[in-house]
Each structure stands twice: as C-alpha cells, then as structure tokens.
Amino acid sequence: MTATLEAPLVNRIQKSPAMRLQPPQRPADSGENPFIARLRKGDATAFEQLVREHGPRMLSVARRMLRCEHDAADALQNAFVSAYQSIHRFDGVSQLSTWLHRIVVNASLMILRTQRRRPACSLEELQTEFDSNGRHASLVEDWTMTVAERLSSTDTAARIASLVDQLPEPYRAVVMLRDIHGYDTAAASRLLRTNESVVKTRLYRARRMLRKLISETLSRQPEYSSIA
C-alpha cells in the first residue's frame, strides 16, 4: 500500500455494512461548519471527501500502532465507520483531525486487545542490571529525550522504530501513546482503560527497556556510537 489512500480501501470503508445505517442527526446549528453539517446529514459525498482528505494521515497513525498492514487497514475501516456513526457527537471545539486521530488510536487499541501476541523478547532480557551495591552494572546513557525526539533528531529513525516494535505489547502501546502520539498520562490511561499509575509505571519501564535495546544496537555499529 502506498503512502496515499488507495481507492480499494476507500471502497472497503464505504461498502461496510455499518455504513448503510444513517447516522443519528443533531439539531442544526446556524453557525455550524457546512461540511460538518453535511456529514451529520449522512451525505455520502461529504463522507468520501472526509476519507480521502484524512485517510492517508489516519492510516499512518494506525500503521504506527499496529505491526501488520492488514490490521492497520482494519483499524482504519473501523475508525471511519465509528466516525460516521458518531459524527452527531462531534462538538466542533477540537479539530476534526484531532477527533479522528483519537478514534483511530482507539480502534487500533481495540485490535491489540483482541490479539494475544507473544512478547518479541522477554522482560528479563531488557531489564537494566545492577551490581551488589545497587549501582548500574554497565554504563547507562542519558535519557533526556523522548522516543519521538530520538526519531526526529537522528538518522536512525527506522532502526529505533523497529526496536519499539520489539517491546512487549503493553509497554509498546504506552510508548506509542505517550512518546509518539503525544497523549498526556490522563488521556493515555483512558485509552488503555487503566489508571494513571499503571501508565506511569509502564512508561518508565518501557523507556528503560528501549534504552537498553538502543544502546545494544548502536554499540554494535561504531558509525552511530556518537549519538547514543
């Protein structure tokens, strides 16, 4: 699948059985965005425009959350069907793209919840080791940048992204939400259906695991050692 949203995927979304249902309508607002008003009336042309304009970016969001291209396509379809059916609840305060982003993330998380993936590597292998005095057994690099900053500030983005994929799923999900997509702790906890303390703990552990993976990977490649 290319970076643009292909016609077959647009058709797949539009032909979903759920799309045959007319979305509930909200009373008209004289100051309402005309495009939003058309969506709320169930205008098929407006919905197709919505999919074509926002689909490519939302597909990228799903691809980041999910390892499988087919799963990403499923998440995107589910998200746009959900958006179609719940457009009457869109308050117009936030950007439409922001609203769609949250729906796509939630659709991706729903797919993750229905899958039972084995961790790509064990937790023990990723834990930082300490000596008998409680000090780090090996040199630990500074971790002042988030994963997103690492991805944007170095030419090792693809390598680091692949390392994020190696994290056990609960830790990978929290890194994606907090460090990649920029959700705060409260929002991440709602999306993950857990409490904020769990999110903070998982994020702390996930960053430590990822730090170790990055350090080990870059240490094997001298040309990148200066950015570790």
- Ranges of residues in the chain whose predicted pLDDT is under 70: 1-32, 116-158, 218-228
Tokens found for residue 96: 């439409």
136: β partners: 130
Alpha-carbon span 202 to 174, nearest angstrom: 7
Residue 130's DSSP bridge partners are 136
pLDDT in the model for residue 20: 57
99-145: per-residue pLDDT in tens? 999 999 999 999 988 875 544 444 455 455 544 444 444 544 444 45
Rounded to the nearest angstrom, the gap between the alpha carbon of residue 131 and the centroid of all alpha carbons in its chain is: 36
pLDDT at residue number 136? 44
Structural domains for the chain = 7-114 (1.10.1740.10), 123-227 (1.10.10.10)
CA-CA distance, 75 to 58, in Å (whole number)?
10
215 three-class SS: helix
